[in-house]
Structure 1
Amino acid sequence: MPRLSLSSRLALLFAACTAVVSLIAGVLFSRASEAHFIELDQQLLDGKLIGLRRALHDIQSSDSQARLADELSRQADLALRITGADGRRWYDSSAQLPEQLPLTAGLSTTSHAGTDYRVLSAPLYPGQPDSPQLTLLLDITHHQHFLQRMQRLIWLTVGLSALATALLGAWAARSGLRPLRRMSEVARGVSAQSLNARLPEEQMPPELAQMAHHFNAMLERLDDSFQRLSAFSADIAHELRTPLSNLLTHTQVTLTRPRPLEDYREALHSNLEELQWMAQLVNDMLYLAKADHGLLMPTREPLDLGQEVDVLLEFFAPLAEDARVTLSREGTASMEGDRNMLRRALSNLLDNALRFTPAEGEVRVRISQQPKVLGLVVENMGEGIAAELLPRLFDRFYRADPARQEGSSEHAGLGLAITQSIIRAHGGQIRCESGDGWTRFSIELPKRV
């Protein structure tokens, strides 16, 4: 079976609710009207009973029959039957009365020959066990006809109100769901070439405003991710184009004519350097791909950050000495983490710091310890980085140095991206600040991974 649309479901629900409410209201009104008629009939018959008892106070007197006829003539739809204590019928005011009538005291309802009666039975002389029995019959056929017409009107009202509510509900649901159709249109128009469509949040009803906000945020993330992916692909091609061209050109030139063995060996060594750089670039990209998919799983081992930093400073000491840069460390802290991954991250930061620190400058590593986290700062003297460039420092293949060289075999612009991935894999965060002649990378790490 085809599934009902949301508008159809809401319209049917509105119709069902309206029908139920109308039906309940009609039934209650019908019951109230019937009870009201019974109460009026009870009052009328009680009043007539008093008058008839007064008229028949002395049933043996000669004028009692005249008084009885006078009393009955005042109510055209009223009839009377008098029976003796032995059950024999003494008197009927009409020849069309039913043969059998209830003799028990109280009010009841009966029907005969298409006529409905309200019946009240009571003794003529209350308190006397051998008293004759008075049975008053009130024709209530017009009451019953009214109630029947009202019941038909109720069913008609229920049907018409349900139909009207279904139509109005369908219109209201379609109008109310217009923002959802708008969202569907925007979603249908989203493609790799068109990710800039957004929903007007200010025009959405409050119930859908939050959904529209999250939908727009999702499109924003998709757009940003697609732009990054496109830029990443372009950067890969950009980085690999020059070394591949160098390899092809160098190889073609070498093969243009016969050469000595030493020239071939030199050509192979030159090609080997380019191939090693390309292999390292591919490995770095694979490393970042693993980080994007949450596949970097740091090991947990006790580490003394002070000792780890000292090992790295000792490794970079010859390079710092040649560049006339001073290396120093302050503070120490203990944590649990992956030694190799953290060394790689700190090596990238120290290598960047040394490359951009002028002669006679200084590179410092400061370690601080707090109850739950520890901080590590790598800072260097030198020319600052513009504030608008700081958010992009951790982008892949991004280099703030305007003198960027295509296909440089030393630095491909992946170091800071790898560092950020390692810090995040450890549950920490890294940020960069630059000013007052210093550039500092601040890291916060949990003590336990």
Structure 2
Amino acid sequence: MKSFPIGARLTAWYFGILAVVLSLFSLTAYFAMRKSIYRTVDEELGAHMEGVRRLIERTARYEPDDLGRELREHSELAGSTLLQVADRQGNWLYRSASMDRYEIPRLREASTVPSTLVLNDMPLRVLTTEIQVGDRSYLVQAAVPLDDFYGALRRFATLLLVSIPILLLSATAGGYWMSRRALAPVDQITQAARNISVQNLSSRLVIPQTGDELQRLSETLNSMLERLEAAFKKIIQFTADASHELRTPVAVMRTRTELSLRKPRSAEEYRETVAQVHSELEKTSDLVERLMLLARADYGAEALQLFTADLGEIVREVCSQGKMLSEAKEIDFREQIPGRPVWVKADAHALRRLFWILIDNAIKYTPEGGRVDVVVGHENGFAIGE
């Protein structure tokens, strides 16, 4: 999903989570309704059975036919509840007409828990109870058809199956619209950022006054653009100054050399020309060093590449260049580097640059006729360079 836009990914996650939540809700609602139906039917059976118990206790002294009539009247008042009553000898005192139609089996042992039977494709909830009145015992069985309840349960399940996809699609479409609306400022920020280049670094992003992450992002980007603009202006200014400063000594050196080459000059005039060229070269060298420092500062800290290197060999290379500079100032340049390798673990390039800076500064700040010593060796297991 990484290749899809954020809005699409958010919508997909929203769709998946909502689908799981609605599915769990539907299953919970379905089984809760099913349990509620059984509880309602069981309460109806229990209430009907309690009414039969009171009726039998009140009319137990009647003849069986009279008791049957009382039970018939009570059963008719009970509505859809089916009833059959027999004594312990198996003689029917009363039996609803529908009992034969549903082929409900004859009375069995009493049970305190209702059970569900499917007879002739008709689901029934059946409760069998034994009622004891004096020395007489009666088996009473009540049943409630569940087809109406199951029909309501099926309609409820159909409603869930139809409504959940509609709700899911509607909510997903709404979520996608909301995500696109919420992320619309991101597209605007992206487009504005693309339009900013070197030619218009002063341009800024429009900050949405929403007080959320997008506003903080825009403010942060604008702060970054301000720092980049300031840095770029400094670079342009330094480049312009450097170009001007380089142009001046180069122009002076070219002019002096051209004048010297137009006609023969005396040794003193040539010496004066060389001295002026040397002075301008020192200015140029100093400017180049400043440019290098600026480049290093802009680049940041260098990552050192550490390898085993011969310190003596590195210093010897640098000293060969330092000798040429020392000869111009008539400085006594001496080096003491052992013939065997002086192994160190270091970045050879950085180490070479370090010793060149040290030797160059030593020659630069040593007066004419002075002395510069470069020493490399071992001391207490450590490499020494001074």
TM-score, normalised by the number of residues in structure 2: 0.67
Equivalent position of 1:220 in the other structure: 226
Equivalent position of 1:114 in the other structure: 121
Structure number with the bigger relative contact order (C-alpha 8 A, sep ≥ 6) is 1
In 1, the alpha carbon distance for the partners of 2:106 and 2:201 equals 88
Identity %: 26
Q: CA deviation at 1:216?
A: 0.7
Equivalent position of 1:9 in the other structure: 9
Equivalent position of 2:45 in the other structure: 45
- Flag structure 2 segments of 5+ consecutive residues without an equivalent: 303-356, 362-386
Distance change in 2, residues 1:7/1:100 (3 Å): farther
Q: CA deviation at 1:138?
A: 0.7
In 2, the alpha carbon distance for the partners of 1:186 and 1:175 equals 18
Q: CA deviation at 1:60?
A: 5.0
Greater fraction of residues in helix? 2
Structure 1 counterpart of 2:69, which letter?
A
Alpha carbon RMSD of aligned pairs, Å?
3.2
In 1, the alpha carbon distance for the partners of 2:134 and 2:43 equals 22
Q: CA deviation at 1:294?
A: 5.5
Q: CA deviation at 1:136?
A: 0.4
Distance change in 2, residues 1:288/1:102 (3 Å): farther
Distance change in 2, residues 1:233/1:59 (3 Å): farther
In 1, the alpha carbon distance for the partners of 2:103 and 2:296 equals 101
In 1, the alpha carbon distance for the partners of 2:203 and 2:91 equals 96
Distance change in 2, residues 1:205/1:107 (3 Å): same
Q: How does 1:125-136 map to 2 (within 5 A)?
A: 125=132, 131-136=137-142
In 2, the alpha carbon distance for the partners of 1:28 and 1:127 equals 47
What are the superposed Cα offsets for residues 123-174 of structure 1, whole Å, 9 maximum, x if unpaired? Answer: 132697x833211001121111101211221232221111111110000000
Equivalent position of 1:167 in the other structure: 173
Structure 2 counterpart of 1:72, which letter?
S
Structure 2 counterpart of 1:79, which letter?
L
Structure 2 counterpart of 1:233, which letter?
T
Q: 8 Å contact 2:107–2:128 — kept in the other structure?
A: no
Equivalent position of 1:261 in the other structure: 267
Q: 8 Å contact 1:123–1:131 — kept in the other structure?
A: yes
In 2, the alpha carbon distance for the partners of 1:237 and 1:154 equals 79
Q: How does 1:85-104 map to 2 (within 5 A)?
A: 85=88, 92-93=95-96, 94-95=99-100, 96-99=102-105, 103=109, 104=111
Q: CA deviation at 1:120?
A: 1.7
Runs of 4 or more above 6 Å deviation: 86-91
In 1, the alpha carbon distance for the partners of 2:47 and 2:208 equals 72
Match status 1:57 vs 2:60: yes
Equivalent position of 2:34 in the other structure: 34
In 1, the alpha carbon distance for the partners of 2:228 and 2:62 equals 104
In 1, the alpha carbon distance for the partners of 2:125 and 2:140 equals 14
- Given candidates 49, 57, 76, the residue that maps to 1:73 is 76
Match status 1:200 vs 2:206: yes
In 2, the alpha carbon distance for the partners of 1:102 and 1:179 equals 76
TM-score, normalised by the number of residues in structure 1: 0.59
Equivalent position of 1:410 in the other structure: none
Structure 2 counterpart of 1:281, which letter?
L
Structure 1 counterpart of 2:236, which letter?
S
**Alignment length, in residue pairs?**
298
SS in structure 1 opposite 2:33? Answer: helix
Structure 1 counterpart of 2:115, which letter?
S
